[in-house]
Amino acid sequence: MILDIVSTVFIAGAALLSLAAGIGSLRFPDLLSRMHASSKPQLFGLVMVMFAVGLQIRHWGPVSTMFIIVFFQLFTVPVAAHMIGRAGYRTKHLRRSMLYRDELDDAVARAHAREVAERERRELAEKDRDTDSAGPASGSASGEDRTANDHDESDTGR
């Protein structure tokens, strides 16, 4: 009898956590915040449901399958969350300005500035080398360099 009550309490807790996850995915303003709310509390809910099932079914067979289920969720939920978070951060139209401090943006901006500087340096070096030899191919060489590097940037057909 006590086991039944404990199992019921666990399943009710899991149901409430699922409801909280759903409401969170509805109420939170930003994609990344919704990411937190939707998949994480439900992992704990799943563990509670597994406890409830384990208390009810006291054979070793199903318990081992439940171990597998919990371990699978444990290893795949953070990976999926990380990948969705990364995709959500990288694509500009999904990221709103709802971030208080964004150190990743600073790092990326610094890296981008440095890369642009590198590219310009290379072009200027080539231009200097070419103007020294006074060849007519200087313009086309730097132009080629520019188009090869700007190919991805200018491919904004989408």
Partner 1 sequence: MNGQQGIPLVNLDGGPGTVVGLVIGLIFLAAAVVAIIRIVKGPSILDRMIATDALLATIMCGVGGVVAFSGRTDLLPVMLVISMFGFVGAVGVSRYVSRADLRTTARYRRMHRRDNDTGLIGTVEGIEPSVPELAVELEEARLVDPDRAARMEGRETELEASSLRVYFDENGTRQEVTRAEDPPDGSSPSSSGGSSANPQKNSRPHEAVADSDSQSSDADHREDDFRGGDGA
Partner 2 sequence: MGARRRRRQSLVEQVLYMLVLIIVWIFLWDSASGMVIVSGVVVAFTVVRAFYLPPIQLAGRVNFYYATLFILWFMLNVLLASVEVAWLTVRRRPVDAGSVMAVDLSTRSDLLITLVTMTNGLIPGSLVIEIDRARAVVFVHGLNCADDEELEKVRAKTHQIETLLIYAIGSPHDIEVLNDARRERGQKPRLENLTIRERARRARLAKEARARR
Name the region of 14 (left: φ>0; alpha: ψ -120 to 50; beta: rest). alpha
Provide the mask over 103-132, with x wherever binding to partner 1 is found by CB under 8 A and - wherever it is not.
-x--xx-xxxxxxxxxxxxx-xx-xx--x-
Q: Does 101 bind partner 1 (CB under 8 A)?
A: no
The label of the residue with tokens 């915040």 reads: 33
Q: Does 6 bind partner 1 (CB under 8 A)?
A: no
Q: Does 113 bind partner 2 (CB under 8 A)?
A: no
Which pairs count as long-range contacts for 31-37, CB under 8 Å and 24+ apart, including other chains? 31/88, 31/94, 31/95, 31/96, 32/85, 32/88, 32/89, 32/95, 33/98, 35/81, 35/84, 35/85, 35/88
Provide the mask over 17-56, with x wherever binding to partner 1 is found by CB under 8 A and - wherever it is not.
-xx-xxx-xx----x--xx--xx--xx-xx--xx-xx-xx
Query: Taking CB within 5 to 8 Å according to partner kind, which of partner 1, partner 2, none is near residue 146?
Result: none
Q: Does 3 bind partner 2 (CB under 8 A)?
A: no
Query: Taking CB within 5 to 8 Å according to partner kind, which of partner 2, partner 1, none is near residue 100?
Result: partner 2
CA atoms within 13 A on the CB side of 141: 15
- What 3-state class would DSSP assign to 58? coil
Q: Does 146 bind partner 1 (CB under 8 A)?
A: no
Q: Does 137 bind partner 2 (CB under 8 A)?
A: no
